Structure 1
């Protein structure tokens, strides 16, 4: 008599964790119909690849939770800025990746750079500047653009104020500039020059 083979419980549930902005139904659809497939036989790499293709997904882990649950853990991209395109404003994440349409109510600084991409040094410097700013200061930033023939950054703030950031390639000074900008914005002025953090200047126009 031939003995029975090992029991291979089928998938009964697909559990999605980690989503905030991405609809769970989009992740479930990307996993494919796994219901009834033996849990041990699920192609977890294939599921992860399909879910990773969803705009807004930064990373995916697919695990088996015995006896019958497939667990999909999603890490979403963190928006850092906006980029105006012919198709409308897009979100840019903290790595400089442009990934999906921006919701109409989102309020983020707009990058005004010749090129925005994860392999572009100016893009990486720009998102680094925005991430370094204290939240109350970042909330006042409307635009980040190039100045000085393309070698410096300029921040456009609310109420028409401007910040002269200095050379964008000088990333060693990013933290120091971000630190001094908050206090100096308490002073009345129109142009704030923090290119030299130890010698900040404020002009009225």
Structure 2
């Protein structure tokens, strides 16, 4: 009797290659179960490591960025709970405590540094003006925030004089804007002064919202007006001081019509 043809033998070989579909499914199922169990164990281990292990508890608090303050002052204000799990540390609460206790600090980043450290990266405020009262000086930063009182004036920081009258139009300005707003306007005006002149500014006087003046070295003065159009006033002042270098008084309150006088 004749045997199977070549085509029939090829079909048999193709049909018998690889495991049956049921066997393949069982293999895949076993692999999936093994992977699922492994993930469960890994997840449990990670959870225990973060929330139960002594390997990731806070042991150190580092501080960077201080200039006037000391790292010890920042650590004391932060009151980071040593021994607590790093993952459980309330970074928002630490930031709030530092902001309340140390107004000199403008910003603070609280960073979890695994496995056992909390980093405090701070930025201190820099005074741009000083308010003098008695023998003390209140430092004012670029946002108009009064953040510290010191007994010695920092070198090169101009004095701010609030010469606002309690009567007349100046009183109306005070009632409308408030003292804090007038301080911010003075800061804004001082910040617009060109660099070539800024180093010569010794004082900023505020009589009202639109009556701000500068006192320079050499007994010179500048009528700045309001803090508006600061860039135009800076350009006008630079040109005016070059054209009238011997003048003692400069007026850029209207930057399109600057004027100078005295010699």
Please tell me whether the aligned partners of residues 193 and 234 of structure 2 are also in contact (alpha carbons under 8 angstroms).
yes
The Cα offsets for residues 100-134 of structure 1, whole Å up to 9 and x where unpaired, read as 1244442211111148x997332222111111123
Question: Runs of 5+ in structure 2 lacking a partner?
Answer: 1-43, 165-173
The Cα offsets for residues 147-176 of structure 1, whole Å up to 9 and x where unpaired, read as 4x663111111111110112x1x61x1111
Specify whether residues 139 and 179 from structure 1 end up closer, same or farther in structure 2 by C-alpha distance, changes over 3 A only. same
Residue 91 of structure 1: how far off its partner (Å): 0.6
- d(CA) in 2 for partners of 1:96, 1:39: 36
2:212 corresponds to 1:153: yes
Match of residue 71, structure 1, among 111, 119, 124:
119
1:50 corresponding residue in structure 2: 97
Aligned-pair RMSD on alpha carbons? 2.6
Residue 138 of structure 1: how far off its partner (Å): 1.3
Please tell me whether the aligned partners of residues 16 and 24 of structure 1 are also in contact (alpha carbons under 8 angstroms).
yes
Question: Runs of 5+ in structure 1 lacking a partner?
Answer: none
- d(CA) in 2 for partners of 1:162, 1:87: 25
- d(CA) in 1 for partners of 2:179, 2:250: 30
The Cα offsets for residues 33-54 of structure 1, whole Å up to 9 and x where unpaired, read as 5332221222222211121121
The count of residues paired between Structure 1 and Structure 2 equals 198
Query: Secondary structure in 1 aligned to 2:218?
Result: helix
Larger helix proportion of the pair: 2
Larger strand proportion of the pair: 1
Residue 199 of structure 1: how far off its partner (Å): 2.1
Please tell me whether the aligned partners of residues 118 and 124 of structure 1 are also in contact (alpha carbons under 8 angstroms).
no
| TM-score calculated relative to the size of structure 2 | 0.67
Residue 87 of structure 1: how far off its partner (Å): 5.7
Where in structure 2 are the equivalents of 1:1-205 lying within 5 Å?
A: 6-7=48-49, 8=53, 9-32=56-79, 34-53=81-100, 54-86=102-134, 88-102=136-150, 103-113=152-162, 114=164, 120-147=180-207, 151-166=210-225, 168=226, 171=228, 173-186=229-242, 187-204=245-262
2:7 corresponding residue in structure 1: none
Query: Secondary structure in 2 aligned to 1:202?
Result: strand
- d(CA) in 2 for partners of 1:72, 1:188: 51
Residue 140 of structure 1: how far off its partner (Å): 1.0
| TM-score calculated relative to the size of structure 1 | 0.84
Query: Secondary structure in 2 aligned to 1:108?
Result: coil
Please tell me whether the aligned partners of residues 108 and 139 of structure 1 are also in contact (alpha carbons under 8 angstroms).
no
Specify whether residues 87 and 43 from structure 1 end up closer, same or farther in structure 2 by C-alpha distance, changes over 3 A only. farther
Query: Secondary structure in 1 aligned to 2:197?
Result: helix
- d(CA) in 2 for partners of 1:122, 1:100: 19
